[in-house]
Structure 1
Amino acid sequence: MKSAVGNDVPADSGAGRTGRAAWHRRAGMLPLAYLAALVVVALFHPLLPSWRWLAVHLLLLGAVTNAIVIWSAHFTSAVLRAPAPAGRRGEALRLGLLNVGVVGVLAGGAADRPWPGVVGAGLVFAAVLAHLAWLAARLRAALPARFTVTVHYYVAAATALLTGVPVGAWMLVADEDSRTRLLLFHAHVNLLGWVTLTVLGTLLTLWPTILRTRMADGAATATRRALPVAVVGLALLGIAVLAWWPPLAAGGLALVAAAVGLLARPAVQTARRKTPASFPGWSIAAAGGWLLIALGVDVWTLLSAPDAAEAADRFGAVLVPLLVGFVAQTLLGAMAYLLPVALGGGPAVVRERIGRLDRNWAQRVAMANAALAVFVLPTPPYVRITTSLLILAALLQFLIPAVSIMLAARRRP
């Protein structure tokens, strides 16, 4: 098995000696806990007045942000060839601060009480700022490495979130007239900045590792070229939605799509060399397709809306494929590969865990994506209910074995 940076060192070698496995046994439960809470919200949503907002933030602020902070630190150490940390106190403090803030934001939004949400957003901001400072310190201390560009993506992504979080907090206390533009800024910068930039930077090394093949020629060069294109596009998009200039916003989205296209070419070349044959591979491949669909729908939504308020009302058409199709599938696919490896225990145990998370993978990927394709079409309510239940079932087919694996790993000596 290859490591996350594509060499021939076993990916779980030394996990027990460095404490990496013990760390991931503890930290790895955080994203899963938020996904479990998301399932509860989905099942009992008629009783919750703000369930849509709560579901979105459980996924993005809870599960995804925790996963990004945990795994971007992991990949930063790997690609920079940094020695394993002597302790995890700093990471634990950052995660603790982050999750206190997340709970504050969730409580404030669900109860419609702005100030707990504002305080929580401040704590999230502080945790991500500390994470950004850690990334910058690692970059300064590292020797030149082939895949340093991955960490540059993480720095850009964290900077985007630090721009989006204050705007999200501002929305909680802003007047109605300015809230729609702030909403569009907050959603685009966080989704296309914090989440998408992190994913694009990570897939440089993770994608060929999942496929167990070598990286395509030119993949690192394409990744370096795509970063400034994506950052400029994101900046133009943010300025344009705040000023409500739809043509400039569409141009920014086009640049983001161009950056995705630059990275898609080597990714497709890698997949042609070794076709995906597992849940992680096909889940991430499907996610890439939904990202392009969401960007196209977003361009149409912004250009066709008469004003910012209407664009915000229509943003649900973008949010569903972006959140479910791209973000959720990428998160589940990446965790299905990374968790079994990071937990250690030897090759036989790792293979057994991967097998459990891969069980019925073709049915799960096909069911989730077919259900989502039907859900986003104009269909009757009972069809949308059925397809949403199928998507929820696919999530449970990942979540139940993942939690079981984590609990079993925690019981290991």
Structure 2
Amino acid sequence: MTTAATPVQTSGGLSERARWHRRAALIPLAYLAALMVVALVHPWLPAWRWLGMHLLLLGAVTNAILVWSAHFTAAILRIPAPAHRRADVTQLTVHNAGVMAVLASGAFDRPWLGVAGAVAVFAAVVSQLLWLARKLRAAVPSRFAITVRYYLAATTALLTGIPVGAWMLVVDDTTRPRLLLVHAHVNLLGWVTLTVLGTVLTFWPTVLRTRMADSAATASRTALPTAVTGLAVLAVGLLSWWPLLAAGGLALFAMAVALTAGPAWRAGRVKPPASYAAWSIAAAGGWLILALAVDARILLTAGTAAQAADRYSTMLTPLLIGFVAQVLLGSLSYLLPMALGGGPAAVRERTSVLDRRSAQRVTMANTALVVFLLPVGSYIRITTSLLILAALVQFLIPVTRVLLTARRKP
């Protein structure tokens, strides 16, 4: 896989890097739009929860991680700009063909189609792992190379979670709840959360427009082996259904989150969040901590793996919407205006478009999510879910406008 660290200007006015990020951004945005459609028509979709979850995680989030982890790796390791993007295009094509097969498998109950899709996704992620390892090995020493090691660990976690998910498609016995728990934890905590924790080191102070805390790099280096060990212990405890062991692994992972959160908190005290991106990412961190606490309670109180798997859905909403979706939207709101280039004035203009009504959007989405999670009536749940969807629309419309405007400008 290749990526650009420095822009190459083209005759169309946009740099090659900007053109690439503009095209690549359309993929997660398309999945988010599809997710919104699924949410609106879900009463007529029997597998809408599963479909929505995979549209977000396997579609929008994984595409964004594949593109932007390569972008950050290139910046950190000072990788020269590539001559072409054929490897990137091939990787995303294979990945999204796999995603389509997985989604079709769930929608039409065709398990082996899902297995074939998982193989394609696996191949795309292997290419990411090999590219990251090759670039890290060849690069000169860098203070922030630990971020790339987080990406390697996260990619390895996904390569563990994909076969487990494929296995779930073709088995239906007493092991299935354990497989479901391993699949969910390894993918959500390993693939998504490890990527976020590694990126926070340099990205969060940049979003706040302040310097990172002095202890940030040291904390990140300590947190990575703690998180990886915790994730491995958690997976073994879940697969064997030893709840105390699983809870211990989760505690180690939570400790790693706390280690990285400390410097992030200190940076936020120096320069408090003042944009949609910053507030969205900050709120996401709070939901992650809450979700980990709920997860621990589930593991320690469930009598069987089947009970734990049933109760796990109670933490999926705060984890997926509160943490994952808000991190994604907040990060793209900051990254896309920068990646599209055009000079400081153009970046400020795009950022202002994506930052409009930021207080209302963040407050509405998070308040609605809190109320949705309370024991309220069905009409209130419908209203709050529509408010959450409205916050998504308030992101999709301006970001589409930014992408279209960038295309037209010389």
TM bin, normalised by shorter chain, reads: over 0.9
Name the structure 2 match of 1:356: 353
For the Cα contact (< 8 Å) 2:34–2:55, is it kept in 1? yes
User: In terms of mean alpha carbon deviation, does 108-117 or 291-300 score higher?
Assistant: 108-117
Matched with 1:9 is: none
Question: Secondary structure of 1:195's partner?
Answer: helix
Aligned-residue RMSD, C-alpha: 1.3
Equivalent in 256, 269, 274 of residue 277 of structure 1: 274
Report the CA distance between 1:412 and its aligned residue: 3.6
- The structure 1 segments of at least 4 consecutive aligned residues displaced by more than 3 Å after TM superposition are 12-18
Q: CA deviation at 1:16?
A: 3.4
Kept in 1, the 8 Å contact 2:28–2:59? The answer is: yes
Deviation at 1:410, TM superposition (A): 2.8
Is 1:311 paired with 2:308? yes
8 Å Cα contact 2:273/2:279 also seen in 1: yes
Q: CA deviation at 1:404?
A: 1.7
Match of 1:16 in 2: 9
TM-score under structure 1 normalisation? 0.96
Match of 1:4 in 2: none
CA distance in 2 between partners of 1:169 and 1:308 (Å):
19
SS of corresponding position for 1:254: helix
CA contact under 8 A between 2:6 and 2:80: conserved in structure 1?
no
Q: Of residues 115, 120, 141 in structure 2, which corresponds to 1:118?
A: 115
CA-to-aligned-CA distance 1:227-266 (integer Å, 9 cap, x gap): 0000000001111111111111111111111001001110
1:127 to 124, 129, 132: 124
The within-5 A match list for 1:315-326 is: 315-326=312-323
Q: Which letter does structure 1 place at the counterpart of 2:351?
A: I
Query: What is the match of residue 5 of structure 1?
Result: none
Residue 255 (str. 1) matches residue 252 (str. 2)? yes
Partner residue in 2 for 1:191: 188
Q: TM-score by structure 2 length?
A: 0.96
Residue 99 of structure 2 corresponds to which residue in structure 1?
A: 102
CA distance in 2, matches of 1:279, 1:223: 25
Q: CA deviation at 1:15?
A: 5.9
- Which position in structure 1 is the counterpart of 2:396? 399
| Residue of structure 2 equivalent to 1:375 | 372
Other structure's SS at 2:102 match: helix
Aligned position for 1:223: 220
Which residue in the other structure is 1:295 paired with?
292
Match of 1:175 in 2: 172
The one-letter amino acid of 1:351's match is R
Match of 1:64 among 13, 36, 61: 61
Distance 1:271 1:396 in 2: 28
Output the CA distance in 1 between the equivalents of 2:243 and 2:114: 30
Letter in 1 for 2:111: P
Deviation at 1:91, TM superposition (A): 1.1
C-alpha separation in 2, matches of 1:159 and 1:65: 14
Distance across 1 between alignment mates of 2:22 and 2:406 = 7
* 8 Å CA contact 1:216, 1:266 repeated in 2: yes
Q: After TM superposition, give the deviation of residue 223 of structure 1 in Å.
A: 0.4
Counterpart of 1:44 in 2: which secondary structure?
Answer: helix
Match of 1:365 among 351, 362, 366: 362
> Cα–Cα, structure 1 residues 366 and 340, in superposed 2: closer, same or farther, change >3 Å?
same
Find the counterpart in structure 2 of residue 7 from structure 1.
none
Amino acid at match of 1:136: A
How far the C-alpha of 1:175 sits from its partner, in A, is: 1.8
Q: Is the 8 A contact 2:31 2:56 kept in 1?
A: yes
Distance 1:16 1:212, change over 3 A: farther
Aligned to 2:135: 138
Structure-2 change in CA distance of 1:136 and 1:306 (3 Å): same
Name the CA distance, whole Å, in 2 between partners of 1:91 and 1:180.
36
The answer (yes or no) to whether the contact 1:150–1:204 under 8 Å persists in 2 is yes
CA distance in 1, matches of 2:143, 2:353: 34
Question: Is residue 2:26 matched to residue 1:25?
Answer: no
Counterpart amino acid of residue 175 in structure 1: D
Q: Distance in 2 between matches of 1:360 and 1:16?
A: 34
Higher relative contact order (CA 8 A, sep 6+): 1
Query: Structure 1 stretches of 5 or more lacking a match?
Result: 1-11
Counterpart among 157, 160, 163 of residue 163 in structure 1:
160
